[in-house]
Structure 1
Amino acid sequence: MALPQKAKLWLVRFLKLGIFTALGGLIALVAAVFVAMQSLPSFESLKSSPNGQMIRVHAADGSVIVSLGPSFGRWLAHDQIPDVMKKAMVSVEDKRFYHHPGVDPVGMARAAWFAVEHRGTGRRMQGASTITQQLTRNVFLNNSYSFGRKAREMILALAMERKFSKQQILELYLNKVYFGGGAYGIDAASRKFFGHPATKLSLPEAAIIAGLVKAPSSYSPTADVEAALGRAGVVLDVMAANGDITRAEREAANLDNVTMAPEPPQNSVRYFTDWALPQLDTLIDEQNEPLEVYTTIDLNMQKAAAAALRANAPKGAQAALVSLDRDGAVRAMVGGLDYVTSNYNRATTAMRQPGSAFKLFVYLAALEGGYTPETKVVDEPVDINGWSPRNSSGRYSGEINIRTAFAYSINTVAAKIGQDVGFGTIADMARRFGISTPVNTHPSMVLGSSDVRLIDMTRAFASVARKGVAVAPYGITKVTTADGRLLYSHEDDTSRVLVAPWVAAGITDLLQTAVNTGTGRAAQIGRPVAGKTGTTNSNKDGWFLGFSSGITTGVWMGRDDAKPVGGLQGGRAPAQAFASYMKVAVARRPAEKFETEVTLPEWQLEPDNEAYYGDPDEGPLVDEDGNPIPGAARDSPYPTTPDESDGTPPAEPPPPGGRLDQQWIDNVLGRDPNRTGNGGGGGARPAGGNGGRPAEPPTTAVPVRP
């Protein structure tokens, strides 16, 4: 039946309107695509735009210990990308990639039909986005779902297809798409999941990476290996169905043979990286390029440090350790017993009282002011403006020398020295050696009442080990870009001399004595060690700091809430942890004897210089490293338990009602007690430091046996 004339007229009008509307829409689309194409960045600009700065941190042996930011990866040109990777990605994500103009009409129709079938279920259109659309979304848009965003995505995809070749688009996509685990781009994904660059990808590995795009969080091998392998099997099946690989290749692609890269260590070494990496802001200006950061950390020493603390820390206590090489390189840093439980770095951030470990600065000031290891002092009751320190032993030993007072951490002697040289002088010495926290000048400061950081104390001891030359802890040796361009290289600075060599030799003499015969005997490791214990009131903090064979190590133990801990004395758990660690740390280093030859200013020497060169007592009292030999015969009484009452058994049991015995110490150390000593004639040191004389350049060598 023929349509009425009026109906025909309206039909023609609708057809014309539709044609004009379609034509107008096409013109608008072309215009929008043209405008978008003009606004698109160049290919080189898109290549250089960062996903976020990628940083790989290397240990001293070059191995990667942690990757931060987006996972590290290099940009691969189209011809550098393996064919299996390109085929896997195109096959599973956009099999008509080489034939559509940026938007796939077939895929859109299929997605639209899916949406109609599942209307009312809340499920979105699926499978409609081409590789080009995904690229535009990743680079220019976001993942929010709306028709407006979808329209912009399609226009940008069409514009990109007009401006760039298919090879360029695929290159951009494969280098920018997110694969999970912080990995942007196939090279980052390959390095993270398989431990090698993407240029070496096999077919099964390429299938695993291609399968991650659909749901990076769900299919990432770091999250669920089984899910990743299952999805990779689907990718291989699709590739075979699309003709990208043969059935024989599909059968030969055994996913069970793929070796996944182990996850980098995330426990104690993170204390170190958390401390070192913020320093990049002051070392370099590069904010965008991927970085290779090479550090000082020694993974074997780090492992030994963590194990030593876990094995020796008292129950309920935390522990920290810093270990420096002779130039300040941080070889091990442990900020707590478990980084996962607590990432608070007690090695670099926590401030605690050091106890008698602070006496390092007291005796440095004394030696610089004119005292020597042989200077005689009197252990007796002291009163300084109403403050009367006591010795932990509850006894006073009378006349002893500085070496003995230091070895047994005699509090009264430290107080008398502080009053003599000046508490401000001691505070200045602490700051000179790198103590960055406030130091009070109350008399009790000589016993370590000012809070300090472990890394600062370790730095001070390292400067002594370096014969008075300043040591600055550092963790970064060099920084390069991904292509090897050097941005920073550490240079050692030996220009700052903190004390004269004879002062450093004198304090080393005292520190070695403290380990050989005094409170630090538990730190002996079968080779020369110099060090000092520290214990605060009620055993709230325990310290041991010392050095041997070029390695300086500081150990702290205590509770975060500063409550007392049983068995925490510095001469026990901290010293034992020090010894346990140092046996590993110096195992491959030659044993080094300390240079404790003290060269003094001429005014400190006796007229009869021959008095200083007497031979030591005979007798098999020490081994070749200067350590006491158990069971060796001695003709004099033995020392009491050290002043800090740390519970460490003495070299031999003390006699009933024992006392500090000067002759015993001299014998153990191989020194002749009849010698007048290293300056000052062995008598009481004149008041006022150096008697008003300025320290003159050293002129005469006075040997002191280590």
Structure 2
Amino acid sequence: MTDRRDRSGERREPVLGGKPIAPASLDLRLSRDDRPGYTDRDGDAPRNRGGRRDPTFDPVIAPALDPLAETRRRRDDGRSRETVRATPPADDEDADAPRNSMARSSRKPSSGGRGSGDKTERGDKAERGRKPAAKGRKRRGILGTLVYYGFVLGVWVLMAVGGLVAYHASKLPPIDSLAVPKRPPNIAILAADGSLLANRGETGGRTVTLKELPPYLPNAFVAIEDHRFYHHWGIDPVGITRAVVRNVTRSGSSMQGGSTLTQQLAKNLFLTQERTASRKIQEAILALWLERNYSKDQILELYLNRVYFGSGAYGVEAASQKYFGKTARSVTLGEAAILAGLVQAPSRLAPNRNPEAAQARGAMVISAMAREGLVNDNMAKIALMNPGQPVKPGGAGSVNYAADYVMDVLDDYIGTIDKDIVVRTTIDPGMQNIAEKALVEELAQKGDKFGVSQGAFVALQPDGAVKALVGGRNYSDSQFNRASVAKRQPGSAFKPFVYLTAIEKGLTPSTVRDDSPVNIKGWQPENSTREYRGPVTLRQALALSINTVAVKLGVEVGPKAVVATAHRMGIQSKLEPNASIALGTSEVTALELVGAYAPFANGGIAVQPYVITQVRTSDGVTVYKRSGTGLGKVLEPQTVGMMNAMLRETLLTGTGRKADLPGWEAGGKTGTSQDHRDAWFVGYTGSLLAGVWMGNDDGSPTKKTSGSNLPVEVWSRFMKTALATTPPTPLPGGAYKQMWPMPADQQAPTPPGGVPMADSGNPADTLYGLVSPAPVAARGAPLTISPLAQGGPQPQPQPRRVVSDDGVLRPPGSVPNGGGGAPRQGYPPPERSLLDKLFGG
């Protein structure tokens, strides 16, 4: 039964046996035995469940009764045709069988028979022969499909990669304009003896060539970082694959990278250190460009000068200096291995911070070199037995304060720096270490007790050459340079410029002034001891650091004159010309204050402290060389002699007694600012000057720290060690001295130069070598004593006083062992000035 439609699309009634059947008259209910079965393979009528052929089978209505029958029939017909094509028929009848199966089925017997059995057997054989061929074609079909889709996928991947590369390449500068950036210049700072003090600049070391290096140094980097360096073209697919495999198979261990030395160089030269896919693509592109434009040795040399080793060191030269204190050409095989291994993790493998890890990594490098045949077994064993010994981290040394000062003044000498340079300085490494040790140990021993946390130290030759400069107790903790940058009140250390002004105006060390209370427009300066000594000589007043006398002298000669004298001597800071200038209330740096004392040590020549003697390029071209001997003469020899006599007294009987140097003529002055915020001592001999400041960075008061305790002790420690092997040098100007008559039972000593005491029995103002009982003016003309130094009636002689241990002048009987024996003659009649009269002195 079929559902048919005519051309007009109208539904037609089903037919049975050529006659239309009304839907209502057709009984489609079949008995169990009459239900149609599936057709045989040879097209015979189907069998029912009882095994009998259905005599009512009609191929026309079978599809109507079984809708799937037609589909199965067509499928079986197709299989039969494939069997015929695959297996040739045995006879003509079999050959014609597929062509008219329906007709043949109507002629065949309904059951049994030889012909039916033979055909069924042949069909089974054909079916068995057909299956292997179908499986082969199926396999070939799957493989072809995979190849096809794989090819298509590969094309798309290549297109995507190409687009990605093109996109990231567009972010780079044009290849035509691409060039290796110039390496930032390095400044090598050398000591006076030629040893390296420090490297400054962005790289921390100079550029080196492969020819300068021992062969095992570059080989160490090749062995551990890129052993196929000489066999790839910038990118190493073999290395990348090996790294991927190892990273996958060795989970939990350290990851291995696939970047070549060329790729690392490209990153260091052109890119940032961020790790992104974009950077890796750009890195690969730039590596190819480097390989195309530079030889392998050039690339390796660039790499060795640009790779980062930590602690601000770029390049093997900087790393060798920082970690081993030697040049790259001098490192051993063990040290070279440590440097090569350091590149992987500079902070974790730094030999001066983690020596065990650094040596373990160095052993890996040596093993890699031996495996690649770059060193023999004997060399490897020796290197493993003698690993490099790192030096103390450079950041902790005070020499960096000196190096920073060099960098501060370097621009004034040569301007812009565009290439590696070498700067020769005046710094003495031995003195630098002595100064650092003296300051640091004093702070460690007594800093807490006296409430002092910081200090500064400066040492100069009399010509102004800086021999040592310590800007603080620890450079690692604070890089602020308290020696050359910090400005603090010098206190009484400024008084020599007041007394110098008075001497130049006609006063002498024997001139007497009254130590008594003073009031200047409501300002009442006091002595540190709150005591007043009465008439004293200028020599004594300066030695004991009497404030009232200094203030009176400052007003007497004029504050502006004092400021002019200080500037002429070398002070460069701005000074306020007021009455308090005599007590050092204007701030100065330690470096300029010590430099201003230099004319006392060199005979009257003003100096500008200097630290640079020569600047040359790395290839030997001299850029600057120091010439000249100073700023010119500012003091006459007689004036120098008088000042040295007074400042010498400070170390003999005054506030600087702890600083006396046995066998040496030395002078100096202590200084303490208001509330003990700053403590100073500046002292000198004929061959060396040194100054010490101690206090707190925040300006807070200390616990009674004064120039006469901690600073004097630091100065004495330094000078005794620094001058231990130097023959004593007398102070210039004849070391002017005030000679007093000796007791009757003692013979007066003959001073140096054989100058006798004055016939009058009174102390004689004498410059040794320039015998003159009267004051001598500049250039040999007699000095004119100012009216301020002459006026008024002369007071009666006062009993002589001696200096007690606390620095106070006392009557002889009041000081133990200080005034025994025959009474001494009194002071000469003191000179009363107009200022003394005005202020009740």
TM class by shorter chain equals: 0.7 to 0.9
Which amino acid letter does the alignment assign opposite residue 639 of structure 2?
Answer: V
Distance apart, 1:525 and its partner CA: 0.6
Contact 1:549 1:586 in 2 (8 A): no
CA deviations on 1:189-208 (whole Å, 9 max, x unpaired) are: 34444444444554434333
Displacement of 1:548 after TM fit?
A: 0.8
Alignment-derived partner of residue 806 in structure 2: 647
In structure 1, which of residues 46, 53, 65 is the aligned counterpart of residue 197 of structure 2?
65
Counterpart position of 1:279: 409
Match of 1:695 in 2: none
Give secondary structure in 2 for the equivalent of 1:254.
helix
Aligned partners of 1:311 and 1:203: how far apart in 2? 38
Counterpart for residue 334 of structure 1: 470
* Cα deviations by residue, 1:308-349 (Å, 9 ceiling, x for unpaired): 334555422133222211111122223333334444333333
Report what 1:127 is aligned to.
Answer: 257
Q: Contact between 1:357 and 1:544, CA under 8 Å: does it hold in 2?
A: yes
Tell me the distance in 2 between the aligned counterparts of 1:586 and 1:572: 21
| Equivalent-residue separation in structure 2 for 1:666 and 1:286 (angstroms) | 68
Shift of 1:393: 5.3
CA contact 2:527–2:548 (8 Å) conserved in 1 = yes
Report how far residue 131 of structure 1 moved.
2.2
**Cross-structure match for 2:569:** 433
Q: 1:367 offset after TM fit, Å?
A: 1.7
1:583-633 superposed Cα distances (whole Å, 9 cap, x missing partner): 22333333232344599xxxxxxxxxxxx999975846779789xxxxxxx
Q: Aligned equivalents of 2:518 and 2:382: distance in 1?
A: 86
The 1:211/1:40 distance shift into structure 2, 3 A limit, reads farther
Secondary structure of the 2:608 match is coil
- Aligned runs of 1:105-120 on 2, under 5 Å? 105-113=237-245
Please name the residue that 2:814 is paired with.
656
Question: Residue in 1 aligned with 2:731?
Answer: 594
- Cα distance in structure 2, aligned partners of 1:319 and 1:622: 41
Task: Tell me, in whole angstroms, the C-alpha distance in 1 between the residues paired with 2:359 and 2:638.
Answer: 67
Distance (whole Å) between structure 2 residues aligned to residue 126 and residue 61 of structure 1 = 46
Q: How far apart are residue 371 of structure 1 and its match?
A: 1.8
Alignment partner for residue 74 of structure 1, among 207, 220, 241?
A: 207
* Cα distance, 1:23 vs structure 2: 9.1
Whether 2:295 is the aligned partner of 1:165: answer yes
- Taking the TM superposition and a 5 Å limit, the aligned residue runs for 1:533-552 are 533-552=670-689
Give 2:384's aligned residue. Answer: 254
Counterpart of 2:234 in structure 1 is 102
Q: 2:576 corresponds to which letter in structure 1? A: N
Distance 2:373 2:739 in 1: 94
SS in structure 2 of the partner of residue 522 of structure 1: helix
Tell me the SS of whatever aligns to 2:469: strand
| Partners of 1:179 and 1:193 in 2: CA distance | 10
Question: Partner residue of 2:694?
Answer: 557
Map of 1:405 onto structure 2: 541
Q: Residue 398 of structure 2 corresponds to which residue in structure 1? A: 268
Q: Distance in 2 between matches of 1:19 and 1:561?
A: 71
Aligned amino acid, residue 224 of structure 2: V
8 Å Cα contact 2:654/2:807 also seen in 1: no
For 1:701, the equivalent position in structure 2 comes to none
* C-alpha contact (below 8 Å) 2:600/2:732 kept by paired residues: no
**Equivalent residue of 1:228, what SS?**
helix
Give, in whole Å, the separation in 1 of the partners of 2:165 and 2:706.
81
Output the amino acid matched with 1:427: V
1:582 CA drift (Å): 1.7
1:174 maps to 304
Would you say 1:212 and 2:349 are equivalent positions? no
Alpha-carbon distance in structure 1 between the residues aligned to 2:605 and 2:216: 59
> Which residue among 601, 612, 627 is the counterpart of 1:476?
612
Asked whether the 8 Å contact 1:506–1:598 carries over to 2, the reply is yes
Q: What is the rounded CA distance, in whole Å, between the counterparts of 2:195 and 2:807 in structure 1?
A: 40
Asked if 1 retains the 8 angstrom alpha-carbon contact of 2:659 and 2:715, the reply is yes
Q: 1:408 to 1:85 in 2, by over 3 A?
A: closer
**How many residues were matched structurally?**
644
Alpha-carbon distance between aligned partners in 2 of 1:300 and 1:12, rounded to the nearest angstrom: 79
SS at match of 1:211: helix
1:569–1:653 Cα change, 3 Å: farther
Where does residue 783 of structure 2 map in the other structure? none
Work out whether 1:183 is the aligned partner of 2:348. no
* Aligned-pair CA distance for 1:512: 1.9
Report the 3-state secondary structure (helix = DSSP H, G, I; strand = E; otherwise coil) of the residue aligned with 1:655: helix
- Equivalent pair of 2:671/2:680 in contact (CA under 8 Å): yes
Higher mean Cα deviation, 340-349 or 542-551?
Answer: 340-349
Residue 47 (structure 2) aligns with: none
**What's the counterpart of residue 630 of structure 1?**
none
For 2:379 and 2:734, how far apart are their aligned partners in 1?
Answer: 75
Counterpart residue identity of residue 283, structure 2:
E
Pair 623,339 (structure 1): closer, same or farther in 2 beyond 3 Å = farther
Assess if the C-alpha contact under 8 Å between 2:552 and 2:835 holds in 1: no
Query: Hey, what's the Cα distance between the residues in 1 that align with 2:323 and 2:569?
Result: 46
Partners of 1:613 and 1:456 in 2: how far apart?
30
> SS of 2:238's equivalent?
helix
Partner of 1:459: 595
Structure 1 position 229, deviation (Å): 1.7
- Bigger mean CA deviation after superposition, 31-40 or 100-109: 31-40
Deviates most, 389-398 or 345-354: 389-398
**TM superposition shift of 1:649:** 8.4
Q: Secondary structure at the match of 2:342?
A: coil
Q: Which of these residues, 214, 217, 225, is aligned with residue 355 of structure 2? A: 225
Structure 2 equivalent of residue 353 of structure 1: 489
Query: 2: CA distance between counterparts of 1:83 and 1:395?
Result: 76
Q: Using a 3 Å threshold, how does the CA distance of structure 1 residues 6 and 307 change in structure 2: closer, same or farther?
A: closer
What aligned pairs does 1:486-501 form with structure 2 within 5 A after superposition? 486-501=622-637
Is 1:524 the counterpart of 2:660? The answer is yes
The aligned amino acid for 1:208 is I
- Inter-partner Cα distance in structure 2 for 1:206 and 1:485: 31
Structure-2 change in CA distance of 1:284 and 1:140 (3 Å): same
Q: Which amino acid aligns with 2:571?
A: I
* Structure showing greater Rg: 2
Instruction: Write the distance in 1 (CA, Å) between the matches of 2:427 and 2:482.
Output: 17
1:418 equivalent to 2:533? Answer: no
- The two structures have a TM-score, normalised by structure 1, of 0.78
**Residue in structure 1 matched with residue 182 of structure 2 by the alignment:** 49
What is the DSSP-based 3-state SS (H/G/I as helix, E as strand, rest coil) of the residue aligned with 2:233? coil
SS of match in other structure, 1:488: strand
Deviates most, 444-453 or 260-269: 260-269
Q: Residues 494 and 29 (structure 1 numbering): CA distance in 2 closer, same or farther, change over 3 Å?
A: same
Instruction: Assess if the C-alpha contact under 8 Å between 1:57 and 1:64 holds in 2.
Output: yes
Q: Which residue of 2 aligns with 1:303?
A: 433
Q: Distance in 2 between matches of 1:285 and 1:268?
A: 26
Point out which structure has higher relative CO (alpha carbons under 8 A, 6+ apart): 1
| Aligned match of 2:86 | none
1 CA distance for matches of 2:402 and 2:505? 38
Listed as ranges, the gaps of 5+ residues in structure 1 are 600-611, 627-633, 677-681, 689-706
1:407–1:519 contact (8 Å) kept in structure 2: yes
Tell me, in whole angstroms, the C-alpha distance in 2 between the residues paired with 1:562 and 1:493.
37
Task: Describe the SS at the equivalent of 2:457.
Answer: strand
Give distance in 2, aligned partners of 1:176 and 1:186. Answer: 8
For normalisation by structure 2, the TM-score amounts to 0.66
Instruction: Please state how far the C-alpha of 1:141 moved relative to its aligned partner.
Output: 2.1
5 Å-filtered alignment, 1:134-153, equals 134-153=264-283
- Counterparts of 1:378-389 in structure 2, within 5 Å, are 378-389=514-525
Deviation for aligned residue 1:469: 1.9
CA separation of 1:283 and 1:107: change in aligned 2, threshold 3 A: same
Aligned-pair identity in percent equals 37
Instruction: Check the 8 A contact 1:37/1:159 in 2, yes or no.
Output: no
1:31-70 deviation per Cα after TM superposition (whole angstroms, max 9, x unaligned): 999999982679xx64x721x3333333333222333342
Residue 528 of structure 1 deviates from its aligned partner by: 0.9
